[in-house]
Amino acid sequence: MAVALWAVGLSAPTMASADGSEGGGEKPLTPEQQIEEERRAESRRFAVGLSFTSGVLIAQQNATVRTQANVQSVPDPPAAYGWPEGAFIQSPEPFGRDLDKSLLTVSPNFGATIDILTPALGFIPLKPRLFAVAEILPTFAGSVTVALDGAATRFLIQPASTSPRNYPASVIGGQGTRIDSQVMTTTLAASVGISFDTTYRGRLIRLRPGVGWIRWGLIAEGKVLAAYKDDPDPLGTAVLPPPSFGQNFRFIQMGGRAAGFFNGVGPTIEIEMELQRRGSFRPSLYLTGGGFKTVGNNELNFSAKTSVDDALGEADYEASWKLQVQDWNYRMGLGFRVRWVGL
């Protein structure tokens, strides 16, 4: 889309009428000379621009999930519950398994910017101008799963065709660990730099290298679901009174949530093409991009704990989640600007 709009801008005629001869019989200026004369006149003034922009924020996210189960004891003596000699409780599968994953996320944004150009610095070769830009970039991105082991959605228990004694915990669906993330709506950015003017095919082109800052936020959510029971039943189909071995279930469900903002600083570049040479208001198209190194905090951490004491005994369960953003994140965008050059 960006390439198509840029091509249309280059191929369309400039929004200014052709000049006739100046000074009665003087030789008319070429388009390039006209642009240069107009640029020199304009460069003596401040210029303020308002624009609408759309683009994407590209970020690498790393996720870590740590789980631990500490089974302290089982009913003593086991025979009091009809347990066979030597019976013990095993930790549910999602616990004790570390999970490390990463995901490249692309989050679209659409927003507005304001920028200002200073008069040209005549004492510097090429007579560049300074610029400053402030942006607000609402970001619209859905939730993504950065790390997943199993499902970690909700418990799904199928109708039992046999006694609970023969119904293993492994067939209970929805178990697993996961961490999801979502980019917050509010994203802010700003940049400063130097603007150089040139011409291409009769149009004024601005090259604007600079240094930028971006502030964006993440919401992270983690979940752990585990179900297990005293199975398999070594006594087969023997009938024992509840809560006898093979008839006791335990469901562990833990979750957490964290949110935070991240700041990035790095180089930016913008290429702007004016669509009209004259008048106090100059429409233009521009492409922008940048790389931002995360400074300060770069991760979200949260955890959960629970303890149980039931027919299966006593146990403590812990889970911790960490979502980390990569050192470098990137932004690309396309915008339409209207600049007032009459200041």
Instruction: Copy the structure tokens of residue 342.
Output: 């009459």
- pLDDT for position 92: 61
- pLDDT for position 293: 97
pTM of the model: 0.78
pLDDT band at residue 134 under the 50/70/90 scheme:
very high
DSSP state of 164: G
Cα distance between residue 109 and residue 138, in whole Å: 6
- 3 state DSSP class of 3: helix
Q: Where are the beta strands (DSSP E) in the chain?
A: 47-73, 99-117, 129-136, 144-150, 176-183, 188-200, 203-229, 249-274, 281-295, 299-310, 313-325, 328-340
Of 152, 155, 169, which is closest to residue 67 (Cα–Cα)?
Answer: 152
Q: Is the dihedral of CA 237, 239, 245, 246 positive or negative?
A: positive
Cα angle 1, 183, 332 (rounded to 5 degrees) comes to 30
pLDDT digits (tens, 9 = 90+) for 176-223: 999 999 999 989 999 999 999 888 877 889 999 999 999 999 999 999
Task: Give the number of C-alpha atoms closer than 13 A to the C-alpha of residue 330, restricted to the C-beta side.
Answer: 8
- pLDDT for position 75: 56
Of 140, 124, 147, 298, which is closest to residue 221 (Cα–Cα)?
Answer: 147
Q: Which amino acid is at 329?
A: N
Cα distance between residue 175 and residue 155, in whole Å: 7
Cα distance between residue 225 and residue 148, in whole Å: 12
List CB contacts of 159: < 8 A, sequence separation 6 or more.
none
* DSSP state letters, 270-303: EEEEES-SSSSEEEEEEEEEEEEEEES--EEEEE
29 pLDDT higher than 50: yes
Burial class (CB in 10 A: 0-12, 13-18, 19+), 103: middle
Residue bearing tokens 């790095």: 266
Cα distance between residue 320 and residue 301, in whole Å: 7
Cα distance between residue 215 and residue 188, in whole Å: 5
17 pLDDT higher than 50: no
What H or E segment, with its residue span, contains residue 10? Answer: helix 2-11
Cα distance between residue 291 and residue 109, in whole Å: 16
- pLDDT for position 128: 92
Mean pLDDT of 67-83: 65
